[in-house]
Structure 1
């Protein structure tokens, strides 16, 4: 266990400790919390980040639930094909997938060309590039596997005999789905929701490529403060606050919904 333990300490806990240490050294214990809140740009980006994370999480949960039910209810071969398609996109580089969405959504891109050919839009196109509505489909596409896996693990834990018993007792397909299947997916859904929400809070690549001035999320602000302005103190404070917020959120959700037990099934 020594090599993986050293890798964990050096590769994960080490940078976290350095970030928190720099935040405290540059700003002090109180300033590390209050200084970022004095910047209107930071406050605005926090609101945009929360709005985007909540919207992406809800959309991903709906799509992930429908996709998981389709995989579970389809014949075995069809289910394997659906899973293969899902993970084929998951294994492709994040940068490649994001750039593909850039080519799709940019002005006069693939989507605008298709819309004009079908008579759905005028010469101006849909205008989705660098907007919040245009950012949602790429984010949902990238986050979908993280939602499907925990929900599918819950679906696999469902005893098929219970479904057969419910049907034999006269339960309709909709009743069995509403009273038996969906409640059994609750823990997996909460695990997927938490995972997607946490990832969306700190997501950088896709918003940086597809977002605009009106969709500047917290991760983009951290990137600008660190890469262009070299404001180490503010960068460290923002990184530490984001990390603490994620840990507190996970601890509360795990206490209420027992999410850590769901990870053992995935």
Structure 2
């Protein structure tokens, strides 16, 4: 998958491997089952005999890392890619190892699912939102997935309703199975270049005009789970750097990633 994604991006741009100045990958050692896991992906990811580095967790981190390298003036073309294969490991159990090592990890019950249960309950109690209203978000998203032939088959359901979502198996009360995004194997790759270089590659590049990122406290007990201060902060930074003063009226499309239905309400 890595080779197909990276090679596909390079070929689509009409470039060769020798044109690549730096490669930034994003995987997770816990997910890959070994430390320094990128030592096994360097070649297929285009990093052989090239400047290469890795960042953990979200593929967006690879984009930010690659962007920093481009903005440094030291690189003219960055390949960034991120991916994982949850079909090869117990995804939700593995996420225990991402939690606070002092208080949460030793308890062996805090992972993304139980954290989502805490978060959804906190949001419902804070704002008086019902489980039925959150289930409507899951219904909307799964019906939208059914309109996309490339969407994961397990996520597509054109006839789903609120009752079906609420009656699906409980993951961590009040979160139910159909409120949870379906993990799937996948890799995404893209090319980053400074303006002059980008215009040599294509006459219709996608411009990154603003970026913002922010992270909250590691330990869940140190923050309010019914809100996302980091999202708010990152958004403000991105809007300011892009010169956007009225996001609601100036932005036509906004894409969010929410692993759980209630997170769409928190993030939006």
Do the two structures share a fold, i.e. TM-score over 0.5?
no
Which structure is higher in strand share? Answer: 2
TM norm structure 1: 0.22
The structure with the largest helix share of the pair is: 1
Q: State the TM-score, normalized to the length of structure 2.
A: 0.21
Decide which structure has the larger Cα Rg and report it.
Answer: 1
Report 1 or 2 for greater relative contact order, CA contacts < 8 Å, sequence distance ≥ 6: 1
